[in-house]
Amino acid sequence: MDPRLLLPPSPLLEIAQKGPRALGQSLRRNYNTPPQPLFDYLALEFRVEKFWLIGYDARLDFLGWAMVLTNSSLNKEIVVSNIPFAISEKNVLRELRIPLLKTLQELPERHLAEYIKKAIDTAYTLIEGKGIYRTFAVEKIIEDRAIVQGSDSLFIGKNMVKLLKNCPYVTVMASTIGLGLEDKVETLKAGSPSDAYYLEVVGGWMADYMAEQLDKRIEPEIRKSGYGRTMRYSPGYGDWDLTCQGEMMRMTQASRIGISLTESFIMIPRKSVTAAIGWERTQ
């Protein structure tokens, strides 16, 4: 039998947040003695470090168990360094508004293909992908904002209320490609503006790429905890005002991966992304 079929119907992480006894009681309601395949599954899929026996019933030899989740982003930052990456010629061409071609070999203007290839090769030596994320409980939804653990001023606006109205948790994230590429672009502008331009284009696409790679690390934690996920949403979109970026810096601890903020709410490095992903109830 698939051990996932042995799981209680309610999301385990939400129950666990109520305390070890609540989780133990949930398992106890579903099983007289929890089957070994369930423990094996939890240990593998939820990265469980320990099981605690929190009570004892002489008749059943069992009262309840609780989990300690390691590598969980709930209430602690997860830092990801040296994010692997590959630079797609197709996507770089799309950034250059050449959407019908997939490779540089297909580009008839060979001098242009050489500029782009040089920029891609240079970018590989300069990009250092980093990310950080953390998950918070959503405490209350009111008319114009979502209040989360630790902040009542981050998620302001009707779009954020709509995004998080069915979410008990939200993950905030920040990612960057580092300063190396931007510094190189500035150096090239004086003597080789064409090289600077194409390198800037490659860097622009890679900023979104790093955010997507971090998203792919966050989604499994959400789904393995029994939730669905919302779209990824960033400050500056819709009515989520860019002025919330300062609070986003604080909540993500983005300074730990080298991201800072100017007085006009521009991130440094500029090729950086912040965003939020809601954990949606599936029932």
For 44, the 3-state DSSP assignment is helix
Q: Judge if 54 and 133 occupy the same domain.
A: no
| pLDDT at res. 116 | 95
Q: Judge if 138 and 26 occupy the same domain.
A: no
10: domain range?
A: 3-69
Q: Judge if 31 and 92 occupy the same domain.
A: no
pLDDT tens digits along 184-208? 999 999 999 999 999 999 998 899 9
State the pLDDT confidence band at 245, using cuts at 50, 70 and 90: very high
Q: Judge if 200 and 172 occupy the same domain.
A: yes
Q: Judge if 65 and 131 occupy the same domain.
A: no
Start-to-end CA distance of the chain, whole Å, equals 23
User: Which of 10-19, 236-245, 247-256 is least confident?
Assistant: 10-19
Whether the CB-CB separation of 223 and 13 falls below 8 Å is answered with no
* Continuous segment of H or E residues that includes residue 122: helix 110-126
**Domain final residue, candidates 24, 41, 69:** 69
Q: Judge if 179 and 113 occupy the same domain.
A: yes
pLDDT tens digits along 120-176? 999 999 999 999 999 999 999 999 999 999 999 999 999 999 999 999 999 999 999
Q: Judge if 228 and 171 occupy the same domain.
A: yes
Q: Judge if 47 and 111 occupy the same domain.
A: no
Gap between the Cα atoms of 3 and 5, Å rounded: 5
**Domain final residue, candidates 45, 69, 93:** 69
How many domains is the chain partitioned into structurally? 2
The CATH number of whichever domain residue 173 belongs to comes to 3.40.109.40
* Continuous segment of H or E residues that includes residue 228: strand 228-229
Left if phi > 0, otherwise alpha if psi is -120 to 50, otherwise beta: which for 269? beta
| pLDDT at res. 17 | 56
**Domain final residue, candidates 21, 45, 69:** 69
Q: Judge if 41 and 173 occupy the same domain.
A: no
Compute the average pLDDT of residues 8-32. 56
pLDDT tens digits along 79-95? 999 999 999 999 999 99
Q: What is the pTM of this model?
A: 0.74
- pLDDT averaged over the chain? 82
Q: Judge if 101 and 198 occupy the same domain.
A: yes
211: its two tokens: 């955010």
Q: Name the packing angle between helices 193-224 and 110-126 (round to 10°).
A: 50
Question: DSSP letters of 134-178?
Answer: EEEEEEEEETTEEEETTEEEEEESHHHHHHHTT-SEEEEEEEE--
* Neighbour count for residue 21 (Cβ, 10 Å): 14
Q: 66 pairs with which residues across the strands?
A: 52
Q: Judge if 87 and 226 occupy the same domain.
A: yes
Q: Judge if 200 and 82 occupy the same domain.
A: yes
pLDDT tens digits along 21-51? 565 566 556 655 455 555 554 544 444 444 4
Percent of the chain with pLDDT over 90: 65
